[in-house]
């Protein structure tokens, strides 16, 4: 059973192309980081909802821009063109706006430029009017976001894309959220962000399985390509194990035990591990492993954030 719709001519290809680039199911990853960082900040200093919303809008704009420029770069490398129809899913293989002729190259770059420009402008607004210290995390996030696909680093092509994603959707965005709210950083926010970064890395990991043959042909040497799918499937549980181990020990270091609500992420993670282990070459064609891995990430963010708020609000 394929997780993609049958090919059909869209009634409004440009709108469908933009919708793919906006991709709410992936953009939710930034929201998860805001949730964790915002929860710690709410306990420590309270929340400015206005600046949280501005940061959230900036991150959404950068997600759209990143998806747009990534689609062009992966198209030019031949990567997206090499994905076989049976390997296409709603979570991997790129946004395919060029492959499916929904947008032209010029339109795709225009979207990248417009949304990237708005994202940078909103970041500048935060720096100039609210928190100057947010400048450097913003620069780091921008460099990591571009460098996942873009030259000269092209980290996803060099086996460093997984580290890039761990840093971006773990410590960088969580600490940036806390910084915008408080003007400083927090070890509590940092250690809550580590499992979050590992869980989004696991999500990326399973997304690399369907693209394996295309990635090999295009020289996109991510870690699943370097290891091969059978060995990569055996290492997936290790990523999850480290994430949950960090969560389990946090109450021993001053966190409320309620952060263990983040263990809501365990059942979908276990499902993803089991199905990937059973059929590393084909699981994505019949099993919802990719959405399960994304759900694990979201449930951790929601559970740990709510648990932290509940536990710390009850502290003397």
Residue 8 lies in a domain: no
Q: d(Cα 180, Cα 132) in Å, to the nearest integer?
A: 9
How many domains are contained in the chain? 1
Q: Is the pLDDT of residue 187 over 70?
A: yes
- Mean pLDDT of all residues in 294-307: 98
Q: Is the pTM of this model over 0.95?
A: no
Residue 194 lies in a domain: yes
Residue 185 lies in a domain: yes
Count of C-beta atoms within a 10 Å radius of residue 204: 23
Q: Is the pLDDT of residue 210 over 90?
A: yes
Q: SS3 for 121-186, per residue?
A: HHHHHHHHHCCHHHHHHHHHHHHHHHHHHCCCCCHHHCCCHHHHHHHHHHHHHHHHHHHHHHCCCC
Residue 178 lies in a domain: yes
Residues near 66 by beta carbon (within 8 Å), at least 6 away in sequence: 145, 146, 148, 149
Residue 86, domain extent? 13-313
CATH code of the domain containing 183:
1.10.600
Q: d(Cα 251, Cα 42) in Å, to the nearest integer?
A: 19
Q: SS3 for the chain, per residue?
A: CCCCCCCCCCCCHHHHHHHHHHCHHHHHHHHHHHHHHHHHHHHHCCCCHHHHHHHHHHHHHHHHHHHHHHHHHHHHCCCHHHCCHHHCCCCCCCCCCCCCCCCCHHHHHHHHHHHHHHHHHHHHHHHHHCCHHHHHHHHHHHHHHHHHHCCCCCHHHCCCHHHHHHHHHHHHHHHHHHHHHHCCCCHHHHHHHHHHHHHHHHHHHHHCCCCHHHHHHHCCCCHHHHHCHHHHHHHHHHHHHHHHHHHHHHHHHCCCHHHHHHHHHHHHHHHHHHHHHHCCCCHHHCCCHHHHHHHHHHHHHHHHHHHHHHHHHCCC
Q: What per-residue confidence (pLDDT) applies to 3?
A: 40
Residue 2 lies in a domain: no
What radius of gyration, in Å, describes the C-alpha atoms of the chain? Answer: 19
Q: What per-residue confidence (pLDDT) applies to 314?
A: 66
Q: Is the pLDDT of residue 6 over 70?
A: no
Q: Is the pLDDT of residue 2 over 70?
A: no
Q: SS3 for 131-147, per residue?
A: CHHHHHHHHHHHHHHHH
Q: Is the pLDDT of residue 1 over 70?
A: no
Residue 305 lies in a domain: yes
What pLDDT digit, counting tens, does each position of 98-140 carry?
999 999 999 999 999 999 999 999 999 999 999 999 999 999 9
Residue 7 lies in a domain: no
Q: Is the pLDDT of residue 8 over 60?
A: no
Q: What per-residue confidence (pLDDT) applies to 10?
A: 54
Residue 5 lies in a domain: no
Q: How far is residue 112 from each of residues 57, 87, 120, 224, measured CA to CA in Å?
A: 15, 26, 12, 28
Q: Is the pLDDT of residue 68 over 70?
A: yes
């Amino acid at each position: 059973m394929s997780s993609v719709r049958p090919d059909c001519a869209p009634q409004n290809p440009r709108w469908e192309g933009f919708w793919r680039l906006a991709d709410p199911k992936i953009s939710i990853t930034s929201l998860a980081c805001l949730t964790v960082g915002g929860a710690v900040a709410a306990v420590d200093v309270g929340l400015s909802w206005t600046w949280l919303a501005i940061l959230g809008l900036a991150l959404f704009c950068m997600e759209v821009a990143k998806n747009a420029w990534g689609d062009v770069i992966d198209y030019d490398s031949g990567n997206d063109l090499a994905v076989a129809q049976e390997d296409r899913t709603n979570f991997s293989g790129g946004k395919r706006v060029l492959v499916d002729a929904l947008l032209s190259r010029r339109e795709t770059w225009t979207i990248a430029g417009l949304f990237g420009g708005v994202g940078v402008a909103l970041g500048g607004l935060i720096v100039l009017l609210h928190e100057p210290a947010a400048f450097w995390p913003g620069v780091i996030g921008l460099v990591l976001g571009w460098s996942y696909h873009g030259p000269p680093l092209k980290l996803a092509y060099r086996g460093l894309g997984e580290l890039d994603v761990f840093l971006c959707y773990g410590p960088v965005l969580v600490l940036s959220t806390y910084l915008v709210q408080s003007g400083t950083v927090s070890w509590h926010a940092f250690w809550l962000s580590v499992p979050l970064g590992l869980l989004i890395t696991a999500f990326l990991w399973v997304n690399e399985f369907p693209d394996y043959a295309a990635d090999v042909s295009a020289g996109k040497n991510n870690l699943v390509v370097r290891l091969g799918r059978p060995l990569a499937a055996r290492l997936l549980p290790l990523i999850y194990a480290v994430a949950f181990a960090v969560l389990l020990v946090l109450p021993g270091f001053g966190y409320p035990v309620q952060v263990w609500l983040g263990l809501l992420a365990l059942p979908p993670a276990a499902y993803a591990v089991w199905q990937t282990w059973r059929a590393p070459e084909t699981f994505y064609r019949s099993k919802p492993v990719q959405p399960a891995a994304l759900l694990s990430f979201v449930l951790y963010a929601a559970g740990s954030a709510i648990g932290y708020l509940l536990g710390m609000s009850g502290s003397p």
